[in-house]
């Protein structure tokens, strides 16, 4: 693994892109301080340049060089870093992250991942890695090397870390305003942050357009239609099931968790959607999934996957 990591770091230092595992999903990484490297990510992902990227750091000291690290930030970082929490913080004037990475905003999305391979790469690289999820814009996220290849072929060097641990992206909390706001539910459960900040708000998606441009209504889309909260599976549909029930597809069915375990369901979520996302099928029927704990993040992804807007 060490020689693979060294090779990945060489690629980053040259201003090129790698794909690497984190504990949430695979990321497409580039040197966050180089404009040309950041542009390559936007181009490869076909991502609109107004949708900013998350910066990945090796430790808190490095974060503090780029953003104003508030008391609230310290409380959340002490509890959840390294781990699947992204904090939106005000940029320092003397920071040196490419403005393209944050799409020209005065805030920066920061996180310290807990995945051992990601941390090794960050330590060897000794810099900041800007990394969106390793999928084409608006498509399904990647939780294994296979999914990254499906999106980008063999165009980029992929560090293989097997299936990711959480299977769903980091929770994003905006701390740049007076009241903390969850911009994206994710792998850290909202109730765990609410325990610390009871006034925590959830982003109102209807009103929001600019503050989290990535929270576009249409996202995480399979290439065939998807129908949610089904009571009955249609004749030509495949089924993404959850828990024990009487739903059944004659064509193909996968169960996210027969025991209705939402953490297990999150881990398998993108993996199973990739498996069912095949143009030889007509559409994907999805069973109702409890909207608590990790279910909140799963249902957020499902709603966007099914959106026609
Ligand atoms: O788990 C994760 O967060 C993964 C792994 C690779 O770290 N990354 C990820 O990145 O999900 P991406 O690019 O797919 O999603 C990042 C989200 C986008 O919705 C983007 O709009 C938002 O973060 N974002 C980035 N910078 C922001 C900022 N300054 N203010 C508000 N939202 C921001
Ligand atoms: Mg993404």
pLDDT at position 205 is: 62
Which tens digits make up the pLDDT trace of 283-300?
999 999 999 999 999 999
Ligand 1 centroid, distance to 27 Cα (angstroms):
11
Half-sphere exposure of 85 (CA within 13 A, CB side): 23
Which tens digits make up the pLDDT trace of 222-231?
999 999 999 9
Ligand 1 neighbourhood includes 82 CB (under 6 angstroms): no
pLDDT at position 208 is: 46
pLDDT at position 206 is: 59
Sign of CA dihedral 31, 34, 39, 42: positive
Q: Is residue 173 within 8 Å of 211, Cβ to Cβ?
A: no
- For the segment 57-66, the average pLDDT, to the nearest whole number, is 98
Ligand 2 centroid, distance to 272 Cα (angstroms):
17
Contacts of 255 (CB under 8 A, 6+ apart): 241, 242, 243
Q: Is residue 276 within 8 Å of 240, Cβ to Cβ?
A: yes
Residue 258 predicted with pLDDT over 60: yes
Residue 98 predicted with pLDDT over 50: yes
**Gap between the Cα atoms of 18 and 230, Å rounded:** 39
Q: What is the largest CA-CA distance in the chain?
A: 60
SS3 content of the chain, % helix, strand, coil (to 5): 30, 20, 55
Ligand 1 neighbourhood includes 183 CB (under 6 angstroms): yes
pLDDT at position 1 is: 77
DSSP notation for 181-239: EEEE--SS-HHHHHTT-TT-EE--TTT-SSSSTT--SS-SB-SS-EE-S-SS--TTEEE
Q: Is residue 211 within 8 Å of 225, Cβ to Cβ?
A: no
Contacts of 192 (CB under 8 A, 6+ apart): none
* Residues with C-beta atoms within 5 A of ion ligand 2: 133
Ligand 1 centroid, distance to 249 Cα (angstroms):
35
User: How far is the CA of 259 from the CAs of 170, 241, 242, 256, 263, in angstroms?
Assistant: 24, 11, 8, 9, 11
User: How confident is the prediction for the chain on average, in pLDDT?
Assistant: 95
Which tens digits make up the pLDDT trace of 104-155?
999 999 999 999 999 999 999 999 999 999 999 999 999 999 999 999 998 8
Say if residue 277 is exposed, middle or buried (CB neighbours under 10 Å; 0-12, 13-18, 19+).
buried
**Gap between the Cα atoms of 69 and 14, Å rounded:** 30
State phi, psi for 275 to the nearest 5 degrees: -70, -35
**Region at 270 (left for phi over 0; alpha for psi -120 to 50; beta for the rest):** alpha
Which tens digits make up the pLDDT trace of 150-172?
999 988 999 999 999 999 999 99
* pLDDT band at 210; cut points 50, 70, 90: very low
Q: Which numbered ligand comes closest to the C-alpha of 297?
A: 1
- Residue 78, Cβ neighbours under 10 Å: how many? 9
Residue 213 predicted with pLDDT over 70: no
Q: Which of 172, 173, 188 to mutate to test the pocket of ligand 1 (most atoms within 8 A of CB)?
A: 172
Nearest CA to ligand 1 atom 32: 212
Q: Is residue 55 within 8 Å of 62, Cβ to Cβ?
A: no
Tokens encoding 262: 């939402």
Closest to 270 (Cα-Cα) out of 209, 221, 197? 221
């Amino acid at each position: 693994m060490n020689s693979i990591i060294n090779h990945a770091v060489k690629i980053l230092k040259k201003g090129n892109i790698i794909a690497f595992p984190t504990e949430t999903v695979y990321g497409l990484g580039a040197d966050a301080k180089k404009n040309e490297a950041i542009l390559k990510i936007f181009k490869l992902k076909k991502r609109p340049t107004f949708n900013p990227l998350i910066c990945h750091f090796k430790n808190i000291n490095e974060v503090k060089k780029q953003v104003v690290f508030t008391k609230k930030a310290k409380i959340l970082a002490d509890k959840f870093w390294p781990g699947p929490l992204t904090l939106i913080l005000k940029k320092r004037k003397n920071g040196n992250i490419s403005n393209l990475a944050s799409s020209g905003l005065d805030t920066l999305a920061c996180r310290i991942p807990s995945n051992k391979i990601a941390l090794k790469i960050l330590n060897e690289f000794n810099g900041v890695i800007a990394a969106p999820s390793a999928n084409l814009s608006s498509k399904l996220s990647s939780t294994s090397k296979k999914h990254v290849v499906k999106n980008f072929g063999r165009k980029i060097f992929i560090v293989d870390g097997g299936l990711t641990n959480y299977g769903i992206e980091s929770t994003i909390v905006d701390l740049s305003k007076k009241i903390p706001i969850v911009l994206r539910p994710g792998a850290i459960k909202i109730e765990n942050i609410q325990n610390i900040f009871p006034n925590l708000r959830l982003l109102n998606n209807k009103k929001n357009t600019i503050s989290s441009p990535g929270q576009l209504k249409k996202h995480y889309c399979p290439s065939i239609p998807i129908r949610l909260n089904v009571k009955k599976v249609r004749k030509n549909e495949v089924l993404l099931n959850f828990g024990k029930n009487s739903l059944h597809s004659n064509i193909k069915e996968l169960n996210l968790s027969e025991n209705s375990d939402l953490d297990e369901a999150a881990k398998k979520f993108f993996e199973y959607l990739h498996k069912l996302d095949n143009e030889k099928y007509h559409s994907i029927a999805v069973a109702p999934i409890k909207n608590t704990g990790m279910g909140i993040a799963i249902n957020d992804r499902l709603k966007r996957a099914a959106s026609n807007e």
